[in-house]
Amino acid sequence: MSKLIGILTSGGDTPGLNSAIRAVGKTLLHEGGYTLIGFLDGYRGLMENRFVELNDSYLSGIITRGGTILGSSRDKPHKMPVGGKIMDMTDVIVQNYHDNHLSGLVCLGGGGTQKNSYRLASAGLNVMTLPKTIDNDVMHTDVSFGYDTAMMIATEAVDRLHSTAHSHHRIIILETMGHKVGWLALGSGLAGGADVILLPEIPYDEQVVADAILRRSREGKKFSIVVVAEGAISKRMAAIRQEEKDGEEKVEAMLKTRTGELAANLEKLTGRETRVTILGYLQRGGTPTPYDRLLSTALGSRCALEIMAENWGHMMAYQKNTIVPVPLKKVAGPVKYIPENHYLVECARHMGVCLGS
């Protein structure tokens, strides 16, 4: 009887999930003679025992598809809405794992998924994970799949906004995803030639941003492109977060209207007409880039080989042009912020790109 492996996708959908599922499945089927089942809608599907068999036909033709064929959710095993209450369903998940006679479970997701997978590993399950996120904030991997596609979409948006900004002599603010980290804003902003890039890691001063735009005007440059991560905060907001008892909650509330207020304030300070474009979920959608397909395929195939070797409790990571297993204990919890001296940050500063500080 072949060994049975379960797989699920959790958290926000990301380009490359289907190619990763395909790589895990095809390698297990081809090399190991395993049987693979996919749990639907993340950990909720595992808790409710909803799954499909992922045979070779099911895995065929999905490498170019965005999203995830298995569906996803943000439900956590230990904090799951059930019957109007938030309940710890870890024991139910563990029981379903054993009732299905699973040899192991593969979880595809970002930082939250890595933490939840580690909890399940600590409960005695054989778990492996893959790093997916457009935010690129998973620790111990140089890059996560989904980031390249999202950065391409955001960069294309910057490219397109240049023409309308130039035609109307406007300030155009483009908001990207990135609630805790600014990798997406930094990458797309630099690649697209933005004049101002605002990141969660570097609190900004609106007057500094306005002065940079006015300086461009004096140099005869009649438009400016501002790329701002959704989690970028002003210095005033950073002070509130640090000094007030409920500062975190206040800042979260302020972020909901922050980009519009930034636009209004920059218009007052510069006298330039200002417009806002919020990319939102566009950054997650559509066909993954070839790079993301290759990265997710390599990660998924290596994951399957580690499963065959029964090297459980690891996340597959991309480090220095190779795929390596990293213990889940090291991955779960920390966030990969942009270092202040990162080479792209230094590059932006040397080129005169305003970072708001």
- Distance from C-alpha of 34 to C-alpha of 61, rounded to nearest angstrom: 20
- Distance from C-alpha of 178 to C-alpha of 174, rounded to nearest angstrom: 12
Question: What are the angstrom distances between the C-alpha of 271 and each of 125, 171, 327?
Answer: 60, 10, 53
Give the active site residue among 135, 137, 148, 195. Answer: 135
Closest to 130 in 3D by CA, of 248, 224, 18 = 18
Strands 314-319 and 322-327: antiparallel
Tokens encoding 107: 């979880």
CA 29 to chain centre: 29
Which residue matches tokens 């406007």?
Answer: 170
Closest to 328 in 3D by CA, of 125, 21, 123, 115 = 115
| Backbone CA torsion sign across 326, 331, 337, 339 | negative
Catalytic site includes residue 135: yes
- Distance from C-alpha of 325 to C-alpha of 318, rounded to nearest angstrom: 9
Which residues are known to be catalytic?
135
